Amino acid sequence: MKLYFSHGKESGPWGFKIKRLAAIASARGCEVESIDYRDSMDPDLRVERLLACLREERERFILAGSSMGGYVSLVASATVDAAAVFLMAPALYIPDFNVQQYRSRSPHIEIVHGWSDDVIPAQHSIDYAREADCTLHLIRGDHP
C-alpha cells in the first residue's frame, strides 16, 4: 500500500509531520510519497496535481493531508478509490476555496484537530465529521 501526503499552504513536502507519519507508515509496510506543492498556493490546482499522480497508481493507496493538504486529499478522494483518508486540521469550509461540499468515496476517514487551532477552527472538522459520520479526534493543541 502507498500513502500520498499533501502538505499545508506554507509548509513543505518533508516537514516534521510527514517525517513522523512516514516513519509510522514505513514500519507498517507502506511506501510514502509526499508531493511538493510549494510552487502553487491554489488549493484546486493542488488537487489537480494529486489526481495526476494518482492516475498512474495501480496499487491501493491512502490519502493524507494537513491543513490545505487536508482539503486537497479530501477533494481528490471524491474521484478516486482511496483505501482511507487521514486529515490533520483540514482546511474545510474556507470561503475562497471552490469546493464547499465534500463527497469522499473512501470507506474510512479519520480526522485529528486541535481544540485551540486559531488558523482552521475545530468546528469545521466537527461539522464535517458529523456530516460524513467519520471518526474525529479532538486533541489538546493548536494548528499543527
pLDDT per residue of the chain (144 residues) written in tens, 0 to 9: 999 999 999 888 888 888 898 999 999 999 999 999 999 999 999 999 999 999 989 999 999 999 999 999 999 999 999 999 999 999 999 999 999 999 999 999 999 999 999 999 999 999 999 999 999 999 998 876
pTM score: 0.95
DSSP state of 104: -
pLDDT at position 54:
97
Query: Rounded CA gap, 25 and 11, in Å?
Result: 20
CA atoms of 136 and 109, how far apart (whole Å): 9
Structural domains in the chain plus CATH codes: 2-139 (3.40.50.1820)
